[in-house]
Amino acid sequence: MNKKPIVSAGSMRESSSSGDESNPQLEPVDRAAEKSLTRKCDLHVLAPVAFLYMLAFLDRVNIGNARIQGLEKDLNMKGQDFNIALCVFFILYIVCEVPSNLLLRKIAPSTWLSLIMVCWGIVTVCMGFTQTFAGLVVCRIVLGMCEAGFFPGCLYLISMYYRRYELQQRITLFFGTTIIANAFSGLLAYAIANMSGIGGYNGWRWIFIIEGGITIVAAACGKYFIVDWPETAIFLSSEERDLLLRRLQEDVAEAKMDRLDTKSKLRILGDWKIYTGIIIYFGVVNTGYSISFFTPTILRQLGWTSIRAQVLTIPVYVFSFVVTIVVAICTDRLHHRYAFAMLGILLATIGYGILLAQEYVPVSTRYAAVFLVAAGSNITQPVVLVWLNNNMGGHYKRSISAAMQIGLGNCGGIVASNIYITTQAPTYPIGYGISLALLWICGLACTVFLIGLRMENIKRDRGERDDRYNLPKEEFENLGDDHPSFRFTY
């Protein structure tokens, strides 16, 4: 079998180090039409799921705002009860991610994603009516199951509409809605706190009831706004659909995995890149959840009132959002991921260093440290998600790898739920120390990932994987990124 042109992780190329020349077998595309198509995808693909994911994250982390509005007192929670309520969310959240993404491949995304969203909206409302700690725990477990498929499902769906070096900006905008949600949750909680006493309910109950109700309404509308797969996208004309499919074909060329047979399953489960990606995400997501769950509490313990602490979280997230968008643009334009992932780790490291020494620094410096930790975490998280996705070839490979990275990587959320020990407030030496250590596990894993990808590219340049051209046709056409013409990005 003849060799095919080399496929980099960004485009089809004649060699791994060459420019962005397209496959010469294809006619040049109309760049104006291509730009118009991309904008149309931004509006129809990205905008709806980004808004819905913001609501999802509000429902996941609003418990942190409810805490400082009297949740623990009303439910007679003591000791580590709050940490337990956080931790149990991840039990089914982790387990259900891969099955959900496999179902998404079989069911229309507009149907599946809106359905699970209605379910978690109902559960969130139920949290507002619970009368016991046990009831809260049950709701959190079920919430984790319902939310499990949304993030990896959206990541998978978005990645099927864009070329690889268009993806970071889109995923960062999508991920950035969680930053907005964190900021908005503080503002919303501040407003809802004034509803305390209405209907006989304290303010923390109204947080769950109102935010859950908004989610249910949005999910019902989402069925009509969430798009399905590119091959059946009704918002595109036939000409636009053909152009979209051609762009995607040029991007991945022979690196396909459209059948989930025994050999493809073994290739997926035996891929070191996926497990490295899990470790990378595990290391950084701990900080992401720590910021979401505990920032209001940390700021309150710096000496501010609950309401002022809620409001002071807003600048933290606005700053993070701006920084992450700038980084996303740079990493796509420079076609590079590793250095930007490490940049986020370094910023968060400085922040944690200040927080670990907070007894010796003024309150204003401690507040600045929260900015650094939040910005650093929010830089690195979307970069490492896209980095792994860029190096996966084929429908099923992207679907399962995204679910595995996010699902198993979210074990970091379990860690975050248990390391901020109540008796150590307000200094939290164990919480900050473990979070810092996990960040550098992430950094080490990023370095291993970089070296491994570069070494594999060198082997393919030398022709050391060309024996795969002689595989049976059925297997050869389903290799995904194991195709010898595929080149990895870093």
pLDDT digits (tens, 9 = 90+) for 375-389: 999 999 999 999 999
Confidence of residue 217 (pLDDT cuts 50, 70, 90): very high
Residue 307: per-residue pLDDT: 66
Residue 6: per-residue pLDDT: 52
Q: How many helices (H) and strands (E) would you count in the chain?
A: 21, 0
CB 339 within 8 A of CB 384: no
Tokens 């739920």 belong to 417
Q: Which helix (H) or strand (E) holds 383?
A: helix 363-390
Confidence of residue 109 (pLDDT cuts 50, 70, 90): very high
Residue 13: per-residue pLDDT: 36
**Amino acid occupying residue 379:** I
Residue 252: per-residue pLDDT: 67
Phi, psi of 12 (to 5 degrees): -80, 130
CB 93 within 8 A of CB 407: yes
Residue 196: per-residue pLDDT: 75
Confidence of residue 259 (pLDDT cuts 50, 70, 90): confident
Max Cα separation, the chain? 75
Confidence of residue 12 (pLDDT cuts 50, 70, 90): very low
Cα 193 to Cα 206: distance, rounded to the nearest angstrom: 8
pLDDT at residue 15 is higher than 60: no
pLDDT digits (tens, 9 = 90+) for 282-321: 999 989 878 766 666 666 666 666 667 667 778 888 899 9
Average pLDDT taken over every residue of the chain: 85
As beta bridge partners, residue 448 has none
pLDDT digits (tens, 9 = 90+) for 137-170: 999 999 999 988 898 899 889 988 998 888 899 9
